[in-house]
Amino acid sequence: MSNVICFDRVAEAKSILKAGISDTSIRARSELRTAAWYLINKTTYTTKQIESRLRNASENYFRGMPEDYIKSSISDIISSVKKESGTEVSDDIQPITIYKEELDKIAELNHDDTERLAFVFLCVVKMIPYEQIYECNSQLYQLAWQYKYDTETKSVVGRQGNRRVGGNEPTKRVNRLCKAGIVRYFTRINMPYQQVKDRPTASATFSVPILQTEGDVAFVIDKPSKESLVLYYDRYKGYGGIVTCERCGRPVLRTGRRHKYCSDCADIINHHPEKRDL
């Protein structure tokens, strides 16, 4: 079980292997499993090479721990990933179907930022089981609020950059979603922090009661990505500053007058053999 929203498991694994695992990481085991999955299923490394790569990536996390413990931990992770490899589902995210009834419920919020957050909750539930995502996951807020908007012209004007999500804003927005019946939380502990001797770990998971499995289809997100996810909702709402990729149909932030493709399609087109010949 992971508390990370993963759009591209291969890219995430490469990032983990390159950057390493922090000594304070609260999801080190999950990161190690992702890295092991990539090394086992997507490379031709031997078992010794895989063990070496995982050991290097987790050097900071395991620092100061007994050698026997480090070796057995890495071996257990490799063994468990190998057992699951035969039955594990594809690492490609399946298409998401969004229904008009779901969007009508979200539109009743009548607040752009809150609507975008509700839409992200809805998409994440459709991407992977909600039990895998925890309520404190800042990725949810970053996905919803990653762009800047001009409210007067109703257009997307740029990226927020590395916006830090904190303070009361996320709590207020989520409370609004709960009152509207869009999101429902399940927690193991329902007491004020002062009444708990040891602060509990993030254990609240959510569901989205407005989730539909049939009805009038508003649109289909063929291949969800971090950059385009919330732009699907903005495009549906009629916001400007968005380009629809001519190759895959994905909404993209407009960065120029001749902008026609998303980054993935542009890379494929620019490296096409016919273009190289030209």
Helix (H, G, I), strand (E, B) or coil at 277: helix
The answer to the question of residue 171 being in a domain is yes
The tokens for 81 are: 């990933």
Higher pLDDT, 190 or 212: 212
Q: Residue 2's pLDDT is what? A: 44
Within this chain, do residues 73 and 108 fall inside the same structural domain, yes or no? no
Per the structure, the complete domain to which residue 16 belongs is given by 9-85
Q: Are residues 129 and 194 in the same domain?
A: yes
Residue 203 lies in a domain: yes
CA–CA distances in Å: residue 172 to residues 63, 137, 169, 178, 200: 40, 15, 5, 10, 21
* Range in 22-31, 59-68, 73-82 with the lowest mean pLDDT: 22-31
* 194 and 60 assigned to the same domain: no
- Angstrom distance (rounded) from CA 16 to CA 23: 13
Same domain as 231, residue 140 = yes
| Residue 71 shares a structural domain with residue 163 | no
**Same domain, residue pair 78 and 123:** no
Tell whether 158 and 213 lie within a shared domain: yes
Using alpha carbons, select from 110, 116, 161 the residue that is nearest to residue 140.
116
User: Is there a single domain that holds both residue 32 and residue 160?
Assistant: no
Band of pLDDT at residue 105, cut at 50, 70 and 90: very high
Residue 193, pLDDT above cutoff 70: no
Query: Is position 271 within any domain?
Result: no
Is the domain of 140 the same as that of 80? no
Give the CA distances from residue 87 to residues 74, 82, 265, in Å, rounded to whole numbers and listed in that order: 21, 10, 31
Whether residues 117 and 212 fall in one domain? yes
The predicted structure's pLDDT at residue 182 = 92
Return the beta strands (E) in the chain as ranges.
96-99, 147-150, 155-159, 184-186, 205-207, 217-221, 242-244, 251-253
Average pLDDT over residues 226-249: 93
In a domain, 1, yes or no: no
Does residue 133 carry a pLDDT above 50?
yes
pTM of the model: 0.72
Per-residue pLDDT, averaged over 10-38, amounts to: 84
